[in-house]
Chains A and B, each alone.
Chain A
Amino acid sequence: MVEAVFAEARRQSLWGDAWQRLQRSRAAIVAASLLLLVCALALVGPWLSAYTVEQVDWSQATLATPPSLSNGHWFGTDANGRDLFVRVWIGTRMSLLVAVLATIVSVVIGVAWGAAAGYLGGRVDGWMMRFVDVLYALPYMFFVIILTVVFGRSLVLIFLAIGAVGWLTMARIVRGQALALRQREFVEAAIALGLSPATIIARHIVPNLLGTVIVYATLTVPQVILFESFLSFLGLGVQEPLTSLGRLVAEGALEMESSPWLLLVPSAVLAIVLLCLNFLGDGLRDALDPRQRR
């Protein structure tokens, strides 16, 4: 009885429906579980090891020891003798945080901006999109450097800076879709019903865009992760002793021949994360379309 009421309440919203449909997609569920596992490890992983992120293990014969179960370095150690297991999960934590926050920033701004421009059209559209063009034309590195100089170096700022660059493409994609949707008859019907533009955008336009938005957002995540490692490389992003997946991969690539695990382990985690995000994105896009039947 209670469950029936609960199910009924959940069926009220678009998201409740999407959740029910998502559960029917096996690939999406496996991907989501795997992603949850990675997230959990990123949160608690560092505590499972006896070592810390900056601790150099002098007890080993060499600094870069290969993975082994006996000495407690499950993923081996890096060229400086630090435990890779701890560093990989710290790096995953950082990369996921950057990816999620920057993507949220870019989706929220990009969708709102693009949908408004596309729906309102005419001169408003022109001005809004010229603004986007101007930001596009600015070299984004220059933009990020100015931000860090003005506001000081902080992680939150990096998230915002990456998101602030990412929303431009999102806005363009969304605007194009909104422009096409505006011509559709159901939008005309909504206008004829006397609904306000804000309601029409939020209820009749944006949900129709979600499929595209989600696909593009899942494509944004790897870009953001790589962009972050680039920023860190320049000394603008995450700093030692903290690390990120991008940095670990870059460092591992340098030692590829002598200590391949330094490249393989973080690359594997990165690949798993990105693959899972793609499958989940695919499943979400299908789940958000009520016409999808299975």
Chain B
Amino acid sequence: MTAEPVLQVRNLGVNFSTSQGEVAAVSGVSFEVHAGECLAVVGESGSGKTQVLMACLGLLASNGMASGSALFTGQELIGADERALNRVRGTGIGLLSQDPLSSLTPHLRIETLLTEGLVDRGLATRVKARERALQALADVDIPEPEARLRQYPHELSGGMRQRVALAAALMCAPALLFADEPTTALDVSVQARVLELLAGVRDRGVGVLIITHDLGVVAGLADRVAVMYAGRIVETATTDELFAAPEHPYTAALLAAVPRLHGGAQARLVGIPGDPPQPSARPPGCAFAPRCERAVDACSESRPELTQRAGRSQVSAVPGDSSASIAARGAPITSVACHRPLHAPAAVA
């Protein structure tokens, strides 16, 4: 279990050159994903979550530039050429995207969509690939896989499409799965099924990096969470810790903004006042300071660094606790980038 992480991202930055000059969409992002672990990246639209994935897969728009480092099982992805990337794409890292209707090529049969990755690389014959496809469809609980293979994406329901997309992403047995808001386009009853399947994927030892703005998804699936705001990670923690005691005011505000079923009809929906800053006009200090209730002068002057804190789980760890086993791997448990975190200011380093 102490093996090196499947994906190790260090100081990742993504810049776009636009007509208004260089815009930093992502800066200084570091995290790692281990085999059999699910890391959730949470943040508002425009916080740069998706760009992190795209940078790792070499899929940035043509005006985008990635810097820093992303090691996939020891292989550098940032700046790698197309041929090297093509060896990782599909076979090393699978991608499950938000809208399965637009991510499945409409005029191709499910069979082609599932098998082309294998057949194209010469990893399997058409017949073998077809058998694998049947198995893959069965793995994602699709009834009558034989019949499905002959159908087109538009003939399936939304939930079934997303399961087919998941099967397609897993066909080449990747070690890591990127899931970019995989449940956003689905209705609630189907979301749960897809999340169960993702949990199953993780339990089979695949590293899962899920991007979402839905904290419900995080709570049900993720082992660890990284909260992004304005292109930076502001807090990382185990899921339990994050929900029990968020350190960063932004995380706390996000959690407070989740509507409660038991709040009664009179309970007001809580929002975060203001808007996230434009990537081209971010304040010099903490990007959240203009919207933060706890902000002091120092917050708008200097940007807080992500610092490791004494994880509460180290104190209150129970044997067999998932966070304890993560701690055993040496991953930092709680890090927060804030001058005035919410709880006892006990910085470790």
Contact = CB atoms under 8 A, between A and B. Distances in A.
A194 B86 contact: yes
B105 A186 contact: yes
B141 to A, nearest CB: 22
A191 B107 CA distance: 17
Contacts of A204: 105, 108
A122 interface: yes
Contact of A122 (B62, B90, B94): B62
A58 B335 CA distance: 105
Given A122-B62, A199-B116, A199-B120, A194 B87 contact: yes
Given A203-B116, A290-B154, A192 B108 contact: no
B102 interface: yes
A39 B88 CA distance: 53
B93 to A, nearest CB: 8
Nearest to B119: A199
Interface string B10-30: 000000000000000000000
Given A193-B90, A194-B89, A291 B106 contact: yes
Contacts of B112: 203
B168 interface: yes
Contacts of B105: 186-187, 189-190, 203-204, 208
B59 interface: yes
A185 interface: yes
Contact of B86 (A186, A196, A208, A291): A196
Interface string B121-138: 100000000000000000
Contacts of B102: 184-186
B106 A194 contact: no
Nearest to A121: B62
Given A193-B89, A193-B90, A194-B91, A186 B103 contact: yes
Main secondary structure of the interface of A (DSSP, over half): helix
Q: Which of under 10, 10 to 19, 20 to 34, or 35 or more describes the interface residues of A?
A: 20 to 34
A288 B108 CA distance: 11
B295 to A, nearest CB: 39
B176 interface: no
Contacts of B103: 185-186, 188-189
B99 interface: yes
Contacts of B154: 290-291
Contacts of A194: 85-91, 117, 121, 172
A290 B59 contact: no
A14 interface: yes
Contact of B95 (A121, A187, A192, A291): A192
B107 A207 contact: yes
Interface in A170-209: 184-196, 199, 203-204, 207-208
Nearest to B87: A194
B150 interface: yes
Interface string A47-91: 000000000000000000000000000000000000000000000
B117 A186 contact: no
B59 A192 contact: yes
Contact of A195 (B59, B95, B120, B165): B120
Contacts of B175: none
Interface string A243-265: 00000000000000000000000
B251 interface: no
Interface string B144-158: 000000101010000
A26 interface: no
A187 B172 CA distance: 18
B57 interface: yes
B41 interface: no
A282 interface: no
Nearest to A192: B95
A199 B117 CA distance: 10
B97 A189 contact: yes
A195 B116 contact: yes
B77 interface: no
Interface string B33-45: 0000000000000
Contacts of B95: 189, 192-193
B99 A192 contact: no
B201 interface: no
Contacts of A286: none
A192 B94 CA distance: 7
Nearest to B117: A193
Nearest to A197: B82
A10 interface: no
A11 interface: yes
A70 to B, nearest CB: 57
A124 to B, nearest CB: 12
Nearest to B82: A197
B211 interface: no
Nearest to B102: A185
A122 B95 CA distance: 25
B31 to A, nearest CB: 20
A292 B57 CA distance: 34
B104 interface: yes
A207 B104 CA distance: 14
A166 B152 CA distance: 34
Q: Most chain-B Cβ atoms within 10 A of its Cβ — which of A122, A191, A192, A199?
A: A192
B152 A192 contact: no
6 contacts: A186-B106, A194-B87, A196-B120, A199-B116, A203-B105, A290-B106
Interface of B: 57, 59, 62, 85-91, 93-95, 97, 99, 102-108, 112, 116-117, 120-121, 150, 152, 154, 165, 168-169, 172
A-B complex: 5 closest residue pairs judged by Cβ atoms: A194-B89, A194-B90, A192-B95, A185-B102, A193-B90
